[in-house]
Amino acid sequence: MELTVQGLTAGYGPGRPVLDGVDLAVPAGRVVAVVGPNGCGKSTLLRAVARLHRPDAGRVLVGGEDVWRLRPRRAAHRVALLPQSPQAPEAVTVAGLVRYGRHPHQGLFRQWSAEDERRTAHALRATGVEALADRRLDRLSGGQRQRCWLAMVLAQDAPVVLLDEPTSALDLGHAVEVLELVREVASDGRTVVMVLHDLAAAARYADLLVALRDGAVVASGPPREVVDPDLVRALYDVDTDVLPAPADGAPVIVPRPRPRTR
Polymer length of the chain: 262
Q: What is the pLDDT of residues 86-95, one digit of tens each?
A: 888 888 999 9
- SS3 (DSSP) at 165: coil
Q: Are residues 56 and 133 in the same domain?
A: no
Give a yes or no: residue 98 inside a domain: yes
User: Taking all residues of the chain, what is their mean pLDDT, rounded to a whole number?
Assistant: 90
DSSP assignment string, 2-23: -EEEEEEEEESSTT-EEEEEEE
Provide, rounded to the nearest whole percent, the portion of the chain with pLDDT above 90: 65
Triad 176, 182, 184: Cα angle to 5°: 105
pLDDT for position 258: 79
> Residue 257: which pLDDT band, with cuts at 50, 70 and 90?
confident
Asked whether residue 179 is domain-assigned, the answer is yes
**Residue 237 and residue 173 share a domain:** yes
Of the candidates 101, 129, 157, which is a domain's last residue? Answer: 157
pTM for this prediction: 0.89
Residue 13: count other Cβ atoms within 10 Å of its Cβ. 7
Residue 13's contacts (CB-CB under 8 Å, 6 or more residues apart) are none
How many domains does the chain divide into? Answer: 2
- Is 84 domain-assigned? no
111 within some domain: yes
Together in a domain, 167 and 49: yes
Query: Based on the domain organization, do 151 and 189 belong to the same domain?
Result: no
Together in a domain, 30 and 9: yes
Boundary-marking domain end, from 139, 157, 175: 157
Give me the domain span that covers residue 153.
Answer: 90-157
Q: How far is CA 118 from CA 98, 147, 188, 209, 223, in A?
A: 12, 18, 16, 34, 36
What CATH number is associated with residue 182?
Answer: 3.40.50.300
CA-to-CA distance for 262 and 254, rounded, in angstroms?
24
SS3 state of residue 187: helix
CB neighbour list of residue 157: distance below 8 Å, 6 or more residues apart: 77, 101, 105, 119
Segment 185-213 shows an average pLDDT of 93
Give residue 107's pLDDT: 63
Residues 140, 214 within the same domain:
no
Task: Round to whole Å and give the CA distance between 161 and 79.
Answer: 6
Is 174 in the same domain as 236? yes
Do 243 and 115 belong to one domain? no
- CA distances to 96, 103, 133, 135, 167 from 93, rounded to whole Å, are 5, 16, 7, 5, 22
Cα-to-chain-centroid distance, residue 80: 9
